[in-house]
Structure formats: structure tokens, C-alpha cells
Chain A
Amino acid sequence: MTTILLIEQILNGLQSGIMLFLMAAGLTLIFGVMGLINLAHGSLYMVGAFAAAAVAAATGSFALGLVAALIAAAAAGALIELVVIRRLYDRDHLDQVLATFALILVFSEGTRWLFGSFPLYLDVPAALSGPVTLPGGILYPAYRLLIIGVGLLIAVGLFALIARTRIGIQIRAGEADREMIAALGVDISKLYTLVFALGAALAGLAGAMVGAIQSVQVGMGEPVLILAFVVIVIGGIGSIKGALVGALLVGLTDTLGGVLLPLGFGAFMDQSAATSIGSALASMSIYILMAGVLLFKPTGLFGEG
């Protein structure tokens, strides 16, 4: 393999990591603040993608589609927080897993009810549809560079939000001691709805942005949900920094594993066996990574406790 190709693959790994981060950030925020495992986070991702596809098809504008994704996912998030999720904060993880598993069923089939069984059309805006040339002569899709840019912006924005703003202070206080901030007169239930809607909006944005280069279909949220869980568990649940590092690790492992493992096995066995064993191992690689991390750090790389 040439150096240029390897660099391009590393770039691909980082880019896939950034896409995962968009999803994982909301998940880890919600866990960090409210202590809630939300399996339905993938459904919010799907809601974002479907809203973007519907609005982009109606108006012809991708930007309006993104706005719609943010609004729809935030609204759906706020709604389920008010109706269902807030009853789960003081429950154990088991109840949370089940209730949000139930929400997946409702969201998936409800979306199919509304939009039908066929995948929807959502494409990148024409201005970003081609590749650009990077230093070193690498051709890279412009839209993927946009995803990397947006992902990094959101990472910076989230760090700033938590470190610098009033809400950030409340969030950090809430993580440390829930009774304390209630005693300080902060309306904790409003804060929780807000944080949940923010997490949902991030998932919706991820769904819309990624949906433009993938397939907008019912059930699209589940594979990425599992990956996002792997990410936040590796990074340490509740840590935004952990989510970023975990996402990049998972993205790199997944991409490079798929490319390098078949090549590696090819060095000492015949090609078709190497391809099949290499591909099989590659599909397990991120789970092996996660199990490995938890063995040495049972609460993830940046987890507390």
C-alpha cells in the first residue's frame, strides 16, 4: 500500500470518528447529567434524517433541511423527555434500557407508518458534491471535509458551553450533586428537558448530515447507536472529551482494520482465505477494542469512579 493511500485511509478513519462523535456527544451528555441510558438516541438520529429529507425535498434547500432536522429532533427529544424520560431518572438502568428499547419500537414503526417502507432521497448540496484536492494530491470529497469541520466546531462549542456558560455551570453542578443545585433554586426539571433536547438536536443533526451520504431509511439509527455506545464506553461515560477520543479510536480501528487485516493475513496465507478471515476479524475489531479497554480501565479512558 502506498503512503498516500494510507494517509487517505487515516483521514477516512478520523472522518468516520467525527461522524460518530456527533452521535456520541449527545448520548454521553445525557448520561453525564441525568444518569440515563437512552437506547432511543438512534431514533432521534433517524428523526433528524427523515425531517431533513422531507423538508429538503419540499423546499429544495439542504440548509433548510438541516434546520428542520435540528428542530424536529429537539422537539421529539423534548416531547419524550416530558412524557416518558423524566419518570426514569430515579429508576435503575434496567428500567431505562427497557423503556427506551420500547421507544425504539414505537419510533421505528411509527416512522414507517408516516413515510412508508422505502428509503427517502437526501443528497448533498450541489456546491459540495465533488472532491477537492488536498496537499499531497489526495482527492477528498468536499462534503466529508464539511462533516469534519462541523464535528470539530461542535466539539469546541460543547467544551465552551460546559466550561464557560451559566447552563454549563448548572450542568456540572448537577453531575456532581443533584440535590445541591435544586437547593440553589435551579429549576432542575427545566434544565433536564433542555439538556435532553440539546442531546437530541445533536443526534438529529448527525442523522441529517450523515443521511446525505448514506441511506435514509427506517432502522438507520440502530447500528450507529451501538457504535456510539461503544464510543462512550471506551471514552468513559459522561465525558465529552472521552467521547471525542473514543470516537476517533473507534473510527480509526474500524476503517484501518477493514483495510489492513485482510492485507496482513494475505502475507502468510492464500488471498481468498485471508480476505474472509481478515474481514471477519475486522467486523469484530471495535468490540475487541472495547473489551480490551474495559479490562484495563473498567470505567473507560476518561471515566470517573
Chain B
Amino acid sequence: MKFKSLIAAASIAALSAGSAWADAHMDKVKVGMITTLSGGGAGLGIDVRDGFMLAAKMAGNENLEVVVEDDQRKPDIAVQLADKMVQSEKVDVLTGIIWSNLAMAVVPAVTAQGKFYLSPNAGPSALAGKGCSPNYFNVSWQNDAFNEAAAMWANDNDVKNVFLMAPNYPAGQDMIAGFKRFYEGDIAAEVYTKLGQTDYAAEIAQMRASDADTIYFFLPGGMGISFMKQYAGSGVDKAVMGPAFSFDQGILGAIGDAALGVKNTSHWSKDIDNAANKTFVEEFQKEYGRLPSLYAAQGYDTANLLLSAMEKASVTDADAFRAALKEADFESVRGKFRFAENHHPIHDIFMREVVKEGDVVTNKIIGTAAADHQDAYGGDCKM
């Protein structure tokens, strides 16, 4: 594979250029966390960081050292921070990136230099398939996962005709493609909106005029908030479904009652019934005074995966450490969790519904959308 030989060339060149692999410390693990802490989207990075730090604090493992840096959601800053982490901080493991485009900019370069990368969010298809790497472990999800599960749920639950909507950029196109991969019913329309669009009156009018019975959309962050508020005021009464990103705890507070009844797919929910999750939800609220989000859960899982590997192997022995990570011998807050051959998770994806508990708008699990779900790209991955 040309792709692979280039990676190999890059890693050899980087090593000969003086990469510091030699002075890695016995048993100590230094983690470089590059995440978004300022500007738009900072809420996600803060949650990942807080979840990670909570797990680190609870474990009390003194051999774990974490350096946190803010990428400002800019790919060029993320790349430079990765250089800094590798060249100056001499970290062993990197983690923290929230956005697919930043992950694509950073991950191939750092894994080629022999560092481990644990993804606490974002799973672009390229890194699950052709561009997979032995040193890259995705602890969150492959981008298509929630959408594939939603499609399976739609097939089983009498959804006959959907209206699809996403922003016009690669993640948006991937999400819709993921849904269409498994969906068997009719598609009334497929609409791509402008990235960052704030007014959806025109799209809502198209929805009203269409004969769809369900709206399926992916609009992360503020876009989803705007859409849901406007949809609720429009009087269109078609069912609404989507991946969890527009209905997470940090966002539901801003949408309010307008989100009630919406179905969304997620690998995590605060009401998943297992001991690890109960402890996590309790401790997170105690520590930070707010409900945890799925990003916080992912940060927490990422730290626990790393801690479990540190118990078993020294990071100086890359092969042993890699094998220890691959075992995924930790209590995931989402319940079942193991890695597929391409180092992406095999886990259950649940269908949640937005409900009101007292005054708080939040999610409740109503069923399993896809059991032991695995991404579709593993076949292209040759490690």
C-alpha cells in the first residue's frame, strides 16, 4: 500500500531527525491532551477534560501525568501543539481531540512517530479503514455508528419515509451516508445546509410540504439548538430523530421543552444500569456540580482504558502496552466494551428519548438500537 509506505517513511525520517523515544520513563506515563477549551465548542473539550481528570483523580495513580493544551478548534494550532507534545514535552500518549478535521490533521503524524493516540471523541472513517494505525485506539465511536444504529431502529419501528438533513461538509455527508447504509424505507428528501447556518425556516417549510413521517437530522452544537427551537414553533408534527450530538446534556439545557419526545441514538446515557456508570454520574456531579455529558463519559472511559493498560505493561515496551490497550480490561460506563481488529469499539448503541425529570430536560433509554455494533470500515484496515 502506497499510503502505508509513506507512513513508514515518515516515521523513519522522524526518528532519525531526533525524535525522543529513548528517554521514556519506566512505568510512568505522560499524557498530552490537546482539546478545545476556548472559543466556540469549548464546552465539549471541557467535558472531555473533566471526565478524564475525574477518572485520574479517582484512581490516584501517581505514575500518570497529564499536560493539557487548548487547540482553539484550529487545525494548525492542534498540529503545532502535537509537535510540542512530542518534541518538547516528550509525552507517551496523546488524546483529547474533539473534531474530526483536527483528528485527521494530528493523528496520522503522531502515530507515525510511535506515539499512542486514544480518541475520546470523533472517529473519521479514514482512520477506521485505510488509514488505521496500530497505535490509534478509538474509545468513543466511529462517525457513522449512531446513524447506522438509528437506521436499524427505524427499520424495526415502522419508520417509512424520512427527511434527511445535515450541514454541507464531510462529517455531515458521512452521517447521512451512515444512515442510508442500513435504512430500508423511502427517502422523501436529502437536504444539505450551510455550515453554521442559524435560520432553518426554509428547510422547515420543505419538511412541512414533504410526505415524510420522520425527520432525521445531524446538526451539531448551536445549529441543532436553532433548528429544534424553530421546529417546535413551526407546528410541523412529524417525529424527529438524530444522533446524540444535538441532544446531549450541555445542549438540552439550551433547547428546553422544544426537544421533548425526540429520539436519539447514543452509546451512553446517564441511566445505563451498571455500577461503573452509577459511580461516574454520582462522582461527576459531586466534583463539578453539573450532570455529565456523553463527552465527559468518553473522557472518563479514555482515562480508565489507559489506567488499565498501565497496570499491565510499561509504556516503554510499545508492543506489550499496545496489547494491554487492545484488551480493554476496564469497566466502561457504557457497559459492554471491546475493541475490533481496527481498534474501534464494539459496543451497544441505545435509542434514547428526551424526557423531563422534574425541571431538568434529559435523556432516557427506551431500547437497544444496535447490539454489539461494529463499524463498516474494518475490512479496509490492514495493520
Contact = CB atoms under 8 A, between A and B. Distances in A.
B46 interface: yes
Contacts of A259: 202, 206
A275 B235 contact: no
A119 B254 CA distance: 6
Contacts of A224: 198
Contacts of A212: 229
Interface in B198-253: 198-199, 201-203, 205-206, 208-209, 221-223, 225-226, 229-230, 232-235, 250-251, 253
Chain B residues touching A, majority SS: helix
Q: Which 7 residue pairs of A and B lie closest in terms of their CB atoms, listed nearest first?
A: A131-B235, A215-B222, A215-B225, A119-B254, A12-B201, A117-B42, A214-B226
A213 interface: yes
A109 B223 CA distance: 20
A218 interface: yes
A217 B305 CA distance: 33
B38 A130 contact: no
Contacts of B190: 271-272, 275
Interface residues of B, number: 43
B379 interface: no
25 contacts: A12-B202, A15-B201, A109-B38, A112-B38, A118-B43, A119-B43, A119-B222, A121-B254, A123-B229, A123-B258, A131-B233, A131-B234, A131-B235, A139-B208, A213-B229, A214-B225, A215-B226, A217-B222, A220-B198, A258-B203, A262-B191, A272-B190, A275-B192, A280-B168, A282-B194
Contacts of A299: none
Interface of B: 38-40, 42-43, 46, 168, 173, 190-196, 198-199, 201-203, 205-206, 208-209, 221-223, 225-226, 229-230, 232-235, 250-251, 253-258
A119 to B, nearest CB: 4
A48 to B, nearest CB: 15
Chain A residues touching B, majority SS: helix
Given A5-B209, A131-B234, A144-B201, A118 B250 contact: yes
Nearest to A12: B201
A133 to B, nearest CB: 9
A219 B221 CA distance: 12
A120 B43 CA distance: 12
Nearest to A283: B194
Contacts of A129: 232-233
| B42, B190, B258, most chain A CB atoms within 10 A | B42
B253 A218 contact: no
